[in-house]
């Protein structure tokens, strides 16, 4: 029998600048039990979307669920509504959505990789990663008009086209970013100390991943070949060179490398989408009112994002349900902590790239 200590992690913690609280029961620094509280920033957005906002406004409201995942939230919602109302979105708009969605993935993955370097004590690598990420942040601002809270997609298409000047900038900056990402991947993959710190830590086995319905990079790093881009036809990913990235180690190291490889694939997809950009409109007019039920899945940077809508020919929806990736991954995080050394908690938590803003929408 060792020393039993209760250690709260959060609600605010240096390793995770978002409010979540884990209360760990430890025995000689080994975790024997954990409780979780995710409700610090609950904003009642689902309720607001069922009472205050009209269905055409909701795409802009759900973009406020999270600054980082704004593109994915709007995409999830507009896809569900477009399926329900049988709206045929112009192909050019789908390509533009794909470009912005992948730019969003690039900046989010680079943020996660930098953040993980930071909690491992690699301040310099963290700064390199964030400096390089700035390139894609500038591109997102150029394309959408905003650094965060991008209101790009709308029901029926997108709000802005890409001008030739913006396309030129996209190509130039992404070329630089690809070189920098290759360097970052090399460091994350081959640095001796990083390997020592992250290999074999926080391992999700393939069985755990299936039983606990893990989503996103943590699932793919555990040998589970699931990616919404492969399973739900919401954007033309397969036309622009999408690759399903899967690794088998299941540890922190593998989760980071899945993100690095997905970042490189996302850059390639943006180039290919620019090369194959169709001609035509970027938006179609929307007529009528939604009636019935619909659902949509979107591969947000953190994993599967699920939208369910129910409507009855009114401006206000009967139900809007948002199931975000971090919410889906909390059960496996909780399981993973049991038996782990407390010292491994910060890196393990960050390796999931949790988004509490989304979770407590």
Partner 1 sequence: MKVEEIKVPLREIRRAIKDFYDPKEWHFITVNGTDIGGKVELKWFFTKYGEEEVFKVFTAEANYDDEVPTITYIIPSAWIAEWELADLLGLNVEGAKKGLFLDPDSPKAPLRRG
CA distances from 334 to 77, 237, 351 (A): 29, 33, 14
Does residue 83 touch partner 1 according to CB under 8 A? Answer: yes
User: Under a CB-based contact definition with an 8 Å cutoff, are residues 164 and 217 in contact?
Assistant: no
Chain centroid to Cα 81, Å, comes to 21
The span of 40-48, 85-93, 98-106, 266-274 binding partner 1 (CB under 8 A) equals: 40-48
CA distances from 357 to 17, 49, 326 (A): 11, 17, 10
Does residue 116 touch partner 1 according to CB under 8 A? Answer: no
For partner 1 (CB under 8 A), the number of binding residues is 38
Token pair, residue 276, equals 């194959």
Does residue 25 touch partner 1 according to CB under 8 A? Answer: no
DSSP bridge partners of 304: 299
Token pair, residue 102, equals 């992948």
Task: State which residue, 182 or 338, has the beta carbon closest to partner 1.
Answer: 338
Kindly state the smallest distance separating residue 202's Cβ from partner 1, in Å.
17
Of positions 30, 64, 210, 247, contacts partner 1 by CB under 8 A: 210
User: Under a CB-based contact definition with an 8 Å cutoff, are residues 257 and 189 in contact?
Assistant: yes
Q: What residues between 227 and 286 interact with partner 1 by CB under 8 A? A: 230-233
Residue by residue, DSSP assigns 214-273 as --SHHHHTTT----HHHHS-SS-GGGTT------S--SHHHHHHHHHHHHHHHHHHHHHH
Of positions 53, 327, 337, 352, contacts partner 1 by CB under 8 A: 327
The span of 24-32, 177-185, 187-195, 320-328 binding partner 1 (CB under 8 A) equals: 320-328
> Interface residues with partner 1 (CB under 8 A)?
36-39, 42, 44, 46-47, 50, 83, 210-213, 224-226, 230-233, 295, 297, 304, 306, 308, 310, 318-319, 321, 323, 327-328, 330-332, 335, 360
């Amino acid at each position: 029998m060792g020393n039993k200590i209760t250690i709260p992690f959060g609600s605010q913690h240096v390793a995770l600048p978002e409010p979540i609280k884990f209360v760990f029961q430890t025995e000689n620094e080994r975790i024997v039990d954990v409780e979780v509280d995710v409700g610090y920033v609950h904003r009642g957005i689902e309720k607001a979307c069922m009472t205050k906002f009209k269905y055409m406004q909701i795409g802009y409201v759900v973009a406020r669920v999270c600054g980082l995942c704004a593109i994915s939230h709007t995409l999830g919602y507009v896809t569900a509504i477009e399926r329900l109302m049988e709206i045929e979105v112009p192909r050019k708009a789908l390509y533009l959505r794909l470009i912005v969605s992948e730019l969003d993935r690039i900046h989010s993955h680079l943020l996660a990789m930098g953040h993980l370097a930071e909690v491992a004590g690699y301040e310099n690598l963290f700064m390199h990663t964030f400096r390089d990420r700035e390139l894609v942040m500038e591109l997102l601002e150029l394309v959408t008009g905003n650094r965060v809270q991008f209101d790009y997609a709308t029901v029926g298409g997108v709000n802005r086209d890409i001008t030739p000047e913006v396309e030129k900038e996209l190509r130039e900056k992404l070329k630089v970013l690809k070189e920098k990402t290759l360097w970052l991947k090399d460091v994350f993959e081959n640095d001796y100390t990083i390997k020592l710190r992250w290999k074999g830590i926080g391992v999700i086995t393939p069985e755990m991943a299936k039983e606990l319905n893990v989503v996103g990079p943590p699932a793919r790093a555990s040998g589970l070949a699931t990616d919404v881009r492969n399973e739900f036809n919401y954007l033309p990913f397969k036309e622009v060179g999408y690759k399903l990235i899967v690794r088998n180690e299941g540890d922190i190291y593998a989760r980071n490398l899945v993100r690095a490889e997905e970042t490189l694939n996302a850059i390639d997809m943006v180039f290919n989408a620019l090369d194959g950009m169709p001609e035509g409109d970027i938006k179609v007019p929307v007529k009528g009112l939604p009636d019935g039920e619909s659902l949509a899945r979107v591969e947000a940077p953190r994993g599967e994002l699920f939208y369910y809508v129910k409507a009855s020919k009114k401006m206000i929806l009967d139900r809007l349900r948002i199931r975000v990736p971090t919410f889906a991954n909390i059960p496996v995080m909780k399981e993973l902590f049991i038996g782990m050394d407390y010292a491994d908690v910060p890196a393990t938590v960050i390796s999931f790239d949790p988004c509490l803003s989304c979770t407590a929408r």
